[in-house]
Structure 1
Amino acid sequence: MAIAGFCASLVGIGLARFAYTPLLPAIIQADWFTAPQASYLGAANLIGYLLGAMAAGGFAHRRGTATFLRLMMATATISVFACAWPVSFSWFFAWRLLAGIAGGALMVLAAPVILRRVEARQTGMVTGAIFTGIGVGIAISGTLMPLLLQYGLTASWLGLGAVAILLTLMAWRGWPSDDTALAASQAAAPSSASLSSARSRPVLIFSLQYGLNAVGLVPHMIFLVDFIARSLGRGVEIGAVYWVLFGLSAMLGPILAGLAADRYGARATLRVAYVLQAFAVAALLITDDPVCLGVSACIMGALTPGVVPLALARLKELLHDPVVRHRAWSGATATFAVGQAAAAYGFTVLLAQSGSYTPVFAVAAISLVIAFGLDLMVRSRT
């Protein structure tokens, strides 16, 4: 099951979403799309992520969770192949949207389905293993892209698609067989007391923090390679090197975050994460030093997937009922998706109007500072 979850996050998020980032400057330079169009296509994936996160529970309940997870992995894989040809902006937009829907559904359903069947002492390890797939996908895309781009953009997308097929097949039989019963239990109406707990002030503030954190992640997630390659004038190859650093750090981020949460508590670890991310984003406003760029890429790379197990651990601190916690997790994931989508489109417009990444990084850093400040408003719950 852990391998299936690992493959799901790798395909749905690591490849179907993050492989687009190192390809962005090449897509623009090859005249597949203009710079604003390419940015909007990146944002389309985040809109789809929101839709997938919101609708996943209902579809899974009707079709069965395991069947639905397989369908979403297949959809993400097909979307990668479909992007190998720039048929039109609408064609590309539709497939980037579908890739986002698949990624959002996999993020909402895969980990809770698996963790409900894992012993408490193994939760941290399994959670880290599942979300490490995001970082591995980033590292694969960053490593393969410079090689595949020598043969053209179409070959690059086809190569990623081949990897996605292999991973989808690896995960196919790994999902729990009693998925329909689980989906029904998750869809069951919780008690009024449980609903009250799920809507408590700490949970609502946490969801808002999670959404603000998403805003802070977007510049590195979508624009890092383009910022280094075009804005700093260092080329796609150098940009891909920083993307590999981002990906290698993302491979370690979930595991390290899970271990830190186990030892120091999810809330304390999240506070440190907010501060580190704010500094990492703000650093790009004041320096273009290669070492600083590398440190920024590593911090954001580790915490882009690392905040996910931290968020799950934080909800576990706040909510003890697994069904209610799953509902709260769906809501938090939707808030995260709203933050991502709004930031992606907002930053695209801001970039088009200003012609500079400075206001983009400034807004992202401020969002992370606000998330940290909100956490100080919530008293510790014993």
Structure 2
Amino acid sequence: MINRVKLFILLAVCSLLLISTKLFYSADHIPIDADTINRYIPLKKAAVLGDYHQKPEANEKETTAYESESPSTRVNAAFVALVRNSELAGLRSTVRQIEDRFNRKYKYPYIFLNDVPFTEEFKRGMSFVTDNEIRYGMLNASDWSIPKHLDPAKVFAALEKNKSRYIYGGSLSYRYMCRFQSGLFYDHPLLKDLEYYWRIEPDVNYYCDLDYDPFVFMKENGKRYSFTIAPLEWEKTVETLWPTTLTWIKENPHHLPEESMINWVMGNNGDYNMCHFWSNFEIVDLSLYRSEAYRSYFDHLDKSGGFFYERWGDAPIHSIAASMFLKKSEIHWFEDIGYKHPGNEHCPRPEEMALKCVCDSSRSYTYRSRCQRRFSLVQDVKKEELLQKVAQRLIDVPPASPQP
């Protein structure tokens, strides 16, 4: 009797095992083998867009893109914007993208400057898009006014003359902005201790994830100026900027380095080819702008009145100065930073960069830019050759001064 019971139990167990095996290998189930495990383990999205990795083993530490603390190598730098209270929505969008792409990990502060006090609404609105430090500052009255050495009547006459010639031709505040961004911002008390700054603006787009620190990259590689887009300047707005620059070069050869990338902005006949770095994005070693040479150059331009009698922008001035005072090896194109400012955009083409971005490289202006191609080919020129070109140009075309 006992043997029959044992036999019955054994047959029942075998039947259950057989049924389970059939069910397991039915069409509704996946066979369990090494290849299948590797194929069907859930995938974990990596920090880089478009790049996926398998989920780590249980004994591996999982980290998110922004889990690590700020690197100990972080440099003394900040994001800086000159912005109005009315541009809150646009700046919130910009900062949100910067945080998501880069700064939630590296935790650099923001410095916002205005010619009037920031409203509580503005400050509250910005506090919701970043947990990082925000410093608010106002400009000095002298930084946002007609300089004492200029005649206001002549300035307003120039605005009237130019208002229909080009965009912002009749705008006084736009000229205040260009003058401030060209030669005054780096002395603001909130920036006085910074080594580097990254200029940002409202209503721009950052398309690509950054898994390294551009500030640290620049410092470790001896880069002093960087850009993303290099278009042509509108010649009508800078009619006498280059002649005024040549006059300064002739009078101040002691401020020039032995070699520079000046040929990027200077043609074979010594004229200005209108190439410039779009300074609404720039990451800069501020010792460039605080140098005796740059201050002397800016003061010369400022005294000429060209910021007001014409419409000299900070972009061509920064670009001419960087080309005049730096070697090519000190200037860097951040090809991997996809960026759009109304009017132009850059989207990386190389696959290893493009996979980290959410943009269409076929629409990228940069790869069609004449100035960008020139940057890739230009070589440094010696100081002696530069001075010879300048002397000949001043003979061939006597310099003109800005006129109201």
Select the structure with the greater relative contact order (CA < 8 A; seq sep ≥ 6). Answer: 1
The alignment's TM-score, normalised by the length of structure 1, stands at: 0.25
TM-score with structure 2 setting the length? 0.24
Structure 1 or 2: larger helix share?
1
Higher strand proportion = 2
Which has more radius of gyration?
2
